[in-house]
Amino acid sequence: MPLFNSPDYHPETLMPKRLLLLLALIGLAPVCRAADPVSVRISKVGLSEIFIPDGQVTWIQVDLRNTTQQALAFELAAAELALDNDARPVTETLRLALTLAPGEARAVHLPLHVVSNKEAVISVQAADAGGRTLGSAARRVPAKSDGNLIAMLCATPELCRGIRQTILLSGSPEEQTRKSGSLRLAQVTDAPPVWWAWSAAKAVIVGLPMARLSAAQREALELYLLNGGTIILLEDQLKDGVPLLVPAARKEGAPAALAGRLHPGFLESFRLRLPAGELRDISSGRLIRFPSASSQNFAAYFRSYGLGSDTPTALRNILHRYRPDDCDCGEADRTGWLMKRLGTSFRFPTFFEMLLWMLGYLLLIGVVNFFVLRRMGRPEWGWITIPAIAVVFSCALYLASARNRPRNFGLDEMTVYRMDSLSPLAITDLKIRVSAPFRSLVRPVLPGPFVNIPSARYDQSVDFGPLEERGKPAEFRIGDRWESSLSLRKWSFNDLNFFGYHRFPGTIYRDSAGRLHNETGISFEQAIVADHKNVFLLGNVPAGAVVDLERVPRSPYPRESGRTANHSPNYPGPDFRISKQQMATGATDDTDDSEDTRDAQGRTASEADLKKFEAEWAALPGQPFSVLEFIRGWSPDGDRVFSQTKAAFFGFGRDAASGASLRGMAPAYKARSLTVVTFQEWP
């Protein structure tokens, strides 16, 4: 099929198509001709026509319509094309198989990685099984985001104008100038129904009746929140029955205002525990609710976006509650840590082993040629023995090095679920490793709506040379499954990274009696709960289990944390926000001990501790995996770590698997999962 990356793709034969493409762009008409069997129109490129070229996906909405009187089966191909490079794809090509009934219209949402807006277009083409083009469209790549995008969902345009004035005109003239230069306010008239489309937004202001949003749009906003986004609610506009005043103690039952409703309100479980004007961490994101856009706290919240050195200290201290410190710990790459500890790896001779082999070779050559042959009176045989010994020695070294070589293809699947104790929705981070015993072409298949995280060569901040020298962009088939092809060398592996979401039947929560309930439907082989004082060692936690925390073993939190090692990657850090301020409780004063040194996270550690940590790190490969490894790299100051999030649950098991496979192969399959639940309330 001659689409973009196809082997039949020849730029010199596609000049008419490129000419039509350029004419369409000049005419600003991103639709196909009326005579096309499939009408193709690119209606959305990025959230409010903005994209962020830092590895995040860009939302592409394509409106399709079958203009014929018969059903059409075709393949939709989308890519960012570089017009200054023979219209070749810049990143990847997405392919989606579709079937439209006669006259049927459908909107398709594509997660495309866009990296450039110079001489580049977004091109979408529909072609049948024989390669005949049924319809096509193209649009210029929109502008990059040059600041923090604040997306606004408003009931009326007048409300959005009022919000814009409140945000930009609050504070001193200097603060207003900073906000005007850094913030980009955009009204979103049609909320995307896919959560990754919101990733370009720094924050989302929700100020419209929830009845105007579909269930998919509301779920997309919740997933955006759980994945690190900030949602600002204007309660007078939502009109979903959730009261603004939070009861002082809501142990059981529901407020009378919620009685008789058929459907829960938007983010109801979080809002019922969140007073107005208070910023609360929800998993990796933040939620805040205001009575209306005209409330004083709403203006104060956005004034904090313009704080600078000229802002009075007293005012900065007041507004600091809206700007809690971010996590200053290491990367929380938990899938990478699981793969490092449990994934397939190839062991080759170390430098020390190679040195011993070389010394043995030199010793053998010396003994045979300078002692044995001279004693035999045949030193001229050295012309034969030296190459013969070299060949035999090379074969022996090869066999010794290849003793651990793989005999079969391998497929490792490491999944991390991130969720909050009040919601069964979870963000899924997935890493897949495909390993090969010999040079081959493999086709990994992943069921479900996962989105691929691209390789570093798409990152525009890294210089990879001219575009044509960066290698052939990949092709992905998406839809009800994700599929691509990988070319692997002998004894090599390739890692693929994805993100998605999963809805569990329940969550992990703690009741008023202090018992922990596992209602996720999966069992955990190992589990712990960490708070600012203790680490509760739960051990095995089956699905549906209820654990009394007063009866399980516990260990002081500082004893299990505080490790550091001069290695990369280091122990994973928390992915929720912690305080940069040193707390009074558990703080360490390093001014009295001149022999103490600071580790990579700024913590104080003695030389003896650092040597102990290095020894522990060196022994790690030979030790069984422990879920405690996920908190070893955290700061030992529990009050600092759990200043916003009050506790965290880690459950390790094998039940939750995404079901990856290799098409046409039966690889050695290994699946492990980690479920991380954060608690914003902890008795």
* Cα–Cα distance measured from residue 255 to residue 300, given in angstroms and rounded to the nearest whole number: 30
Ranking 240-244, 245-249, 632-636 by mean pLDDT, the lowest is 245-249
* Distance (Å) of CA 610 to CA 290, 558, 632: 48, 15, 13
Position 339: which residue type? Answer: M
What pLDDT, on a 0 to 100 scale, did the predictor assign at position 82?
86
- Position 53 scores a pLDDT of 66
Cα–Cα dist 421/675, whole Å: 11
At residue 8, the pLDDT reads 46
* Mean pLDDT, rounded, for 444-469: 62
So what's the pLDDT on residue 324?
56
pLDDT of residue 125: 95
pLDDT score for 472: 61
How high is the pLDDT of residue 117?
A: 61
pLDDT band at 386 (very low <50, low <70, confident <90, very high): confident
Q: Confirm if 51 and 142 have CB atoms less than 8 A apart.
A: yes
Q: What integer pLDDT is reported at residue 325 of this predicted model?
A: 52
Confidence of residue 262 (pLDDT cuts 50, 70, 90): low
Whether pLDDT at 417 is above 70? yes
Each residue's pLDDT tens digit, 639-668: 989 988 999 999 999 887 888 999 999 999
Mean pLDDT of 401-422: 86
pLDDT at 618: 84
Tens digit of each residue's pLDDT (9 = 90 or more) over 125-135? 999 999 999 99
Could you give the 3-state DSSP secondary structure of residue 35? coil
* C-alpha 34, offset from chain centre: 40
Per-residue pLDDT at 3: 53
Please, what's the largest Cα pairwise distance for the chain?
Answer: 108
SS3 239: coil
> pLDDT over 90 for what percent of the chain?
45
The answer to whether residue 670 scores a pLDDT higher than 80 is yes
DSSP strand E in 532-632: where?
A: 534-537, 546-548, 554-556, 597-598, 604-605
Residue range 277-305: average pLDDT?
A: 90
pLDDT at 157 over 70: yes
Taking alpha carbons only, the member of 109, 124, 122, 110 closest to residue 38 is 124
Strands 230-234 and 203-207: parallel
% of the chain with per-residue pLDDT over 70:
81
State the pLDDT confidence band at 598, using cuts at 50, 70 and 90: very low
Q: Phi/psi of residue 564, each to 5°?
A: -150, 155
Nearest in space to 137 (alpha carbons), one of 17, 297, 266: 17
Q: In this structure, are residues 134 and 124 in contact, taking their beta carbons and an 8 Å threshold?
A: no
One-letter amino acid at 243 equals P
Q: Where are the domains of the chain?
A: 11-144, 148-252+264-322
More confident residue, 449 or 289: 289
What's the pLDDT band for 50 if we cut at 50, 70, 90? confident
What would the 3-class secondary structure string for 508-524 be? EEECCCCEEEECCCCCE
Q: What pLDDT score does 455 carry?
A: 60
Comparing 220 with 19, the larger pLDDT belongs to: 220
Bond prior to 569 in cis (omega within 30° of 0):
yes
Q: What is the mean pLDDT of residues 463-485?
A: 69
Averaged pLDDT for residues 476-495:
90
Phi-psi map region of 551: left, alpha, beta (phi>0 left; psi -120 to 50 alpha): alpha
- Give the three-class secondary structure for 157: helix
- Predicted structure pTM score: 0.83
At residue 503 the predicted structure's pLDDT band, cuts being 50, 70 and 90, is very high
pLDDT above 60 for 120:
yes
Stretch among 16-30, 77-91, 568-582 having the lowest mean pLDDT? 16-30
C-alpha count within 13 angstroms, C-beta hemisphere, residue 152: 20
* pLDDT, mean over the chain: 82
Q: Would you tell me how many other CB atoms lie within 10 Å of the CB of residue 6?
A: 14
Which CATH architecture is the domain 11-144 placed in? Sandwich (2.60)
In DSSP terms, 77 is beta-bridged to: 95, 125
- Fold observed for domain 148-252+264-322: Rossmann fold (3.40.50)
Binned at pLDDT 50, 70 and 90, residue 636 comes out as very high
Residue type, 592: D
Question: Is 275 buried (19+), middle (13-18) or exposed (0-12) by CB count in 10 A?
Answer: exposed
Mean of the pLDDT values across residues 243-272? 67
If you ran DSSP here, which 8-state letter would residue 363 be given? H
pLDDT at 596: 39
Residues 163-206 pLDDT 10s: 999 999 988 888 889 888 888 899 999 999 999 999 889 899 99
Q: How far apart are CA 42 and CA 39, in angstroms?
A: 10
